[in-house]
Amino acid sequence: MTAIRNKVKPDTVLKNFWRDNQRFADVFNTVLFNGKQVLKPEDLKEADTDISSVIKFNNHAETVQRILDVVRKTANGTDFIIWSLENQEKIHYSMPLRHMIADALIYLKEYNELSAKNKREKSYSSSGEFLSGLTKTVRLHPVIGLCIYYGEEEWDSPTNLVDMIQVTEDLKPMVSDYKMNLLQIRSSEHFHFQNIDVQSWLQESTQQ
Protein backbone atom coordinates (compact mmCIF):
# COMPACT_ATOMS: atom_id res chain seq x y z
CA MET A 1 0.00 0.00 0.00
CA THR A 2 2.87 2.33 0.84
CA ALA A 3 4.56 1.60 -2.49
CA ILE A 4 1.38 2.44 -4.36
CA ARG A 5 0.96 5.64 -2.38
CA ASN A 6 4.52 6.72 -3.13
CA LYS A 7 3.91 6.41 -6.86
CA VAL A 8 1.21 9.07 -6.75
CA LYS A 9 2.59 12.31 -8.21
CA PRO A 10 2.22 15.45 -6.06
CA ASP A 11 0.73 17.29 -9.02
CA THR A 12 -2.05 14.70 -9.29
CA VAL A 13 -2.79 14.95 -5.57
CA LEU A 14 -2.97 18.75 -5.77
CA LYS A 15 -5.26 18.67 -8.80
CA ASN A 16 -7.73 16.66 -6.75
CA PHE A 17 -7.19 18.93 -3.75
CA TRP A 18 -8.03 22.12 -5.66
CA ARG A 19 -11.03 20.60 -7.44
CA ASP A 20 -12.93 21.19 -4.21
CA ASN A 21 -14.83 24.46 -4.74
CA GLN A 22 -14.43 25.58 -1.13
CA ARG A 23 -10.64 25.37 -1.39
CA PHE A 24 -10.56 26.78 -4.92
CA ALA A 25 -12.58 29.84 -3.93
CA ASP A 26 -10.56 30.43 -0.78
CA VAL A 27 -7.16 30.44 -2.48
CA PHE A 28 -8.33 32.93 -5.13
CA ASN A 29 -10.08 35.16 -2.60
CA THR A 30 -7.09 35.21 -0.27
CA VAL A 31 -4.29 35.63 -2.79
CA LEU A 32 -5.92 37.88 -5.39
CA PHE A 33 -8.56 39.77 -3.42
CA ASN A 34 -6.97 40.17 0.03
CA GLY A 35 -9.57 37.93 1.66
CA LYS A 36 -12.61 39.62 0.14
CA GLN A 37 -15.22 36.99 -0.71
CA VAL A 38 -15.39 37.64 -4.45
CA LEU A 39 -15.61 33.98 -5.41
CA LYS A 40 -18.37 31.95 -3.78
CA PRO A 41 -18.04 28.13 -3.84
CA GLU A 42 -21.68 27.62 -4.76
CA ASP A 43 -21.23 29.79 -7.87
CA LEU A 44 -18.30 27.79 -9.27
CA LYS A 45 -19.07 25.51 -12.19
CA GLU A 46 -16.67 22.96 -13.63
CA ALA A 47 -15.18 23.97 -16.98
CA ASP A 48 -13.20 22.13 -19.62
CA THR A 49 -9.50 21.84 -18.76
CA ASP A 50 -8.54 20.88 -22.32
CA ILE A 51 -7.87 24.17 -24.10
CA SER A 52 -6.03 22.64 -27.07
CA SER A 53 -6.72 24.36 -30.35
CA VAL A 54 -5.76 24.55 -34.01
CA ILE A 55 -4.01 27.79 -34.93
CA LYS A 56 -4.62 28.77 -38.55
CA PHE A 57 -2.57 31.33 -40.45
CA ASN A 58 -3.08 31.71 -44.19
CA ASN A 59 -2.68 28.17 -45.55
CA HIS A 60 -0.86 26.84 -42.50
CA ALA A 61 -2.49 25.14 -39.52
CA GLU A 62 -0.84 23.88 -36.36
CA THR A 63 -2.27 22.06 -33.36
CA VAL A 64 -1.44 23.50 -29.94
CA GLN A 65 -2.12 21.08 -27.09
CA ARG A 66 -2.60 22.28 -23.54
CA ILE A 67 -4.48 20.85 -20.57
CA LEU A 68 -4.85 22.93 -17.42
CA ASP A 69 -5.03 21.54 -13.89
CA VAL A 70 -8.32 23.00 -12.66
CA VAL A 71 -10.71 25.37 -14.43
CA ARG A 72 -13.89 26.87 -13.02
CA LYS A 73 -16.50 29.23 -14.40
CA THR A 74 -18.69 31.76 -12.64
CA ALA A 75 -21.74 33.15 -14.39
CA ASN A 76 -24.04 36.08 -13.79
CA GLY A 77 -26.72 36.03 -16.43
CA THR A 78 -25.02 36.23 -19.82
CA ASP A 79 -21.71 37.35 -18.31
CA PHE A 80 -19.12 34.91 -17.02
CA ILE A 81 -15.51 34.65 -15.87
CA ILE A 82 -13.07 31.78 -16.40
CA TRP A 83 -10.79 30.98 -13.45
CA SER A 84 -7.79 28.71 -14.03
CA LEU A 85 -5.38 27.18 -11.53
CA GLU A 86 -2.00 25.61 -12.29
CA ASN A 87 0.21 23.68 -9.86
CA GLN A 88 3.96 24.02 -10.39
CA GLU A 89 6.62 21.94 -8.64
CA LYS A 90 9.70 23.19 -10.51
CA ILE A 91 10.83 26.72 -11.35
CA HIS A 92 9.85 27.48 -14.93
CA TYR A 93 11.70 30.37 -16.56
CA SER A 94 9.14 30.88 -19.30
CA MET A 95 6.10 30.72 -17.04
CA PRO A 96 4.70 34.17 -18.00
CA LEU A 97 4.78 33.10 -21.65
CA ARG A 98 3.22 29.77 -20.75
CA HIS A 99 0.37 31.50 -18.92
CA MET A 100 -0.14 34.02 -21.70
CA ILE A 101 -0.49 31.21 -24.26
CA ALA A 102 -2.95 29.33 -22.04
CA ASP A 103 -5.10 32.43 -21.57
CA ALA A 104 -4.91 33.18 -25.30
CA LEU A 105 -6.13 29.66 -26.10
CA ILE A 106 -9.14 30.16 -23.83
CA TYR A 107 -9.90 33.49 -25.51
CA LEU A 108 -9.43 31.86 -28.91
CA LYS A 109 -11.89 29.12 -27.99
CA GLU A 110 -14.57 31.67 -27.15
CA TYR A 111 -13.76 33.69 -30.26
CA ASN A 112 -14.12 30.62 -32.49
CA GLU A 113 -17.47 29.78 -30.91
CA LEU A 114 -18.78 33.32 -31.41
CA SER A 115 -17.41 33.54 -34.94
CA ALA A 116 -19.01 30.22 -35.93
CA LYS A 117 -22.36 31.33 -34.45
CA ASN A 118 -22.26 34.64 -36.31
CA LYS A 119 -21.39 32.86 -39.54
CA ARG A 120 -24.31 30.44 -39.16
CA GLU A 121 -26.77 33.19 -38.31
CA LYS A 122 -25.25 35.72 -40.75
CA SER A 123 -25.23 38.32 -37.97
CA TYR A 124 -22.88 40.74 -39.71
CA SER A 125 -23.97 44.31 -40.39
CA SER A 126 -20.72 45.57 -41.93
CA SER A 127 -17.67 44.37 -43.83
CA GLY A 128 -15.58 44.90 -40.69
CA GLU A 129 -17.78 42.52 -38.72
CA PHE A 130 -17.62 39.96 -41.53
CA LEU A 131 -13.84 40.23 -41.70
CA SER A 132 -13.31 39.88 -37.94
CA GLY A 133 -16.01 37.28 -37.36
CA LEU A 134 -17.35 39.36 -34.45
CA THR A 135 -20.01 42.01 -34.20
CA LYS A 136 -18.93 45.49 -33.17
CA THR A 137 -20.43 45.38 -29.68
CA VAL A 138 -19.44 41.86 -28.62
CA ARG A 139 -16.78 41.43 -25.94
CA LEU A 140 -14.86 38.36 -24.84
CA HIS A 141 -15.06 37.28 -21.22
CA PRO A 142 -12.14 37.58 -18.78
CA VAL A 143 -9.74 34.80 -17.89
CA ILE A 144 -8.06 34.98 -14.47
CA GLY A 145 -5.33 32.48 -13.68
CA LEU A 146 -3.26 31.57 -10.63
CA CYS A 147 -0.02 29.59 -10.51
CA ILE A 148 0.66 27.78 -7.22
CA TYR A 149 4.36 27.03 -6.85
CA TYR A 150 5.10 24.45 -4.16
CA GLY A 151 8.75 23.72 -4.93
CA GLU A 152 11.58 23.84 -2.39
CA GLU A 153 13.72 26.51 -4.08
CA GLU A 154 12.94 30.22 -3.97
CA TRP A 155 11.08 31.30 -7.10
CA ASP A 156 13.50 33.40 -9.18
CA SER A 157 11.71 33.28 -12.51
CA PRO A 158 10.02 36.33 -14.09
CA THR A 159 6.35 36.87 -13.35
CA ASN A 160 5.90 39.33 -16.21
CA LEU A 161 6.47 38.70 -19.90
CA VAL A 162 8.49 41.89 -20.31
CA ASP A 163 11.05 40.59 -17.80
CA MET A 164 11.70 37.66 -20.15
CA ILE A 165 12.55 40.01 -23.00
CA GLN A 166 15.91 41.62 -23.66
CA VAL A 167 14.93 45.23 -24.14
CA THR A 168 16.35 48.60 -23.14
CA GLU A 169 14.56 50.63 -20.47
CA ASP A 170 13.54 53.35 -22.94
CA LEU A 171 11.76 50.80 -25.14
CA LYS A 172 10.22 48.74 -22.35
CA PRO A 173 7.06 50.91 -22.04
CA MET A 174 6.30 50.18 -25.71
CA VAL A 175 6.51 46.39 -25.27
CA SER A 176 3.19 44.66 -24.63
CA ASP A 177 3.39 42.99 -21.23
CA TYR A 178 1.56 40.06 -19.64
CA LYS A 179 1.44 39.46 -15.90
CA MET A 180 0.94 36.11 -14.19
CA ASN A 181 -0.46 35.65 -10.70
CA LEU A 182 1.82 33.59 -8.47
CA LEU A 183 1.42 32.02 -5.04
CA GLN A 184 4.74 30.78 -3.70
CA ILE A 185 3.89 28.41 -0.87
CA ARG A 186 7.19 28.65 1.02
CA SER A 187 6.90 32.41 1.42
CA SER A 188 3.17 32.70 2.01
CA GLU A 189 3.01 32.90 5.80
CA HIS A 190 1.37 36.33 5.59
CA PHE A 191 -1.73 34.88 3.95
CA HIS A 192 -4.63 33.94 6.22
CA PHE A 193 -6.82 31.36 4.53
CA GLN A 194 -10.32 30.78 5.86
CA ASN A 195 -10.62 27.22 4.64
CA ILE A 196 -9.18 24.82 7.24
CA ASP A 197 -7.89 22.36 4.63
CA VAL A 198 -6.01 25.07 2.74
CA GLN A 199 -4.55 26.58 5.92
CA SER A 200 -3.43 23.15 7.17
CA TRP A 201 -1.85 22.24 3.85
CA LEU A 202 -0.07 25.59 3.75
CA GLN A 203 1.36 25.09 7.24
CA GLU A 204 2.52 21.56 6.45
CA SER A 205 4.14 22.67 3.20
CA THR A 206 6.07 25.54 4.77
CA GLN A 207 7.36 23.33 7.59
CA GLN A 208 8.75 20.61 5.34
pLDDT score of 4:
41
Under a CB-based contact definition with an 8 Å cutoff, are residues 70 and 84 in contact? yes
* Better pLDDT: 11 or 166: 166
- Residues in Cβ contact with 11 at an 8 Å cutoff, skipping those fewer than 6 apart: 69, 87, 89
Q: Quick: pLDDT tens for 27-64.
A: 999 999 999 999 999 999 999 998 888 877 677 777 88
Spatial distance between the Cα atoms of 87 and 69, rounded to a whole number of angstroms: 7
DSSP character string of 52-96:
-EEEEETTEEEEE--B-SEEEEEEETTEEEEEEEEEESS--TTHH
Strand partners, 160: 179
Q: Quick: pLDDT tens for 59-107.
A: 777 788 889 999 999 997 768 999 999 999 999 999 999 999 999 999 9
Q: What mean pLDDT is predicted for residues 123-149? A: 94
